[in-house]
């Protein structure tokens, strides 16, 4: 039995199934505020930042934002950007300087590479303009505390 569990755990790690196993996503208010500010500041350019968080039991909590300035424009391909190699990075956020927060093909490709949650914020960059997605591009709801 022990060996069986070991094998299961090993397989889970191998396919990284474990990390998608959360039922709630909670953002610290400061993170959301920082996202709104960055989106407004960088507009009409896109910005991208990485979400720092931790999963405990079934709750994924996002408590930080890792932001690197980069040369962005409306045609930038997010897929070209690699995740920082920090273990606390659980996803990304980027802005669309337009009326849609739906992921583009390049976005979906990027989402599938790593992370647990990805946000897109559209104009006019209020909290309601933020949409969360999982690695497959399905919508994810989140709470703000």
- Spacing of C-alpha 9 from chain mean position: 25
CB of 129 vs Zn ion, minimal distance in Å: 13
User: What are the two backbone dihedrals, phi and then psi, of residue 32, each rounded to the nearest 5 degrees?
Assistant: -60, -45
Query: Is residue 52 at the binding interface for Zn ion, with CB under 5 A as the rule?
Result: no
Within 10 Å of residue 111's Cβ, how many Cβ atoms?
A: 23
CB of 135 vs Zn ion, minimal distance in Å: 15
CB of 143 vs Zn ion, minimal distance in Å: 23
Among positions 52, 107, 129, 134, the unique one binding Zn ion when judged by CB under 5 A? 107
Query: Is residue 129 at the binding interface for Zn ion, with CB under 5 A as the rule?
Result: no
Q: Is residue 128 a contact partner of residue 9, using CB atoms and an 8 Å limit?
A: no
Q: Site residues (CB under 5 A) for Zn ion?
A: 104, 107
């Amino acid at each position: 039995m022990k060996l069986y569990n070991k094998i299961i755990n090993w397989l889970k790690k191998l396919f990284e199934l474990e990390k998608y196993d959360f039922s709630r996503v909670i953002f610290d208010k400061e993170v959301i505020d920082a996202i709104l500010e960055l989106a407004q500041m960088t507009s009409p350019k896109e910005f991208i930042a990485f979400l720092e968080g931790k999963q405990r039991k079934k709750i994924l909590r996002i408590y930080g934002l890792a932001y690197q300035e980069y040369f962005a424009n409306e045609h930038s391909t997010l897929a070209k950007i690699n995740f920082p190699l920090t273990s606390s990075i659980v996803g990304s956020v980027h802005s669309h300087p337009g009326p849609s927060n739906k992921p583009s093909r390049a976005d979906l490709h990027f989402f599938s590479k790593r992370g647990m949650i990805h946000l897109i914020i559209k104009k006019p960059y209020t909290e309601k303009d933020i949409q969360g997605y999982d690695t497959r591009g399905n919508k994810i709801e989140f709470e703000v505390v």
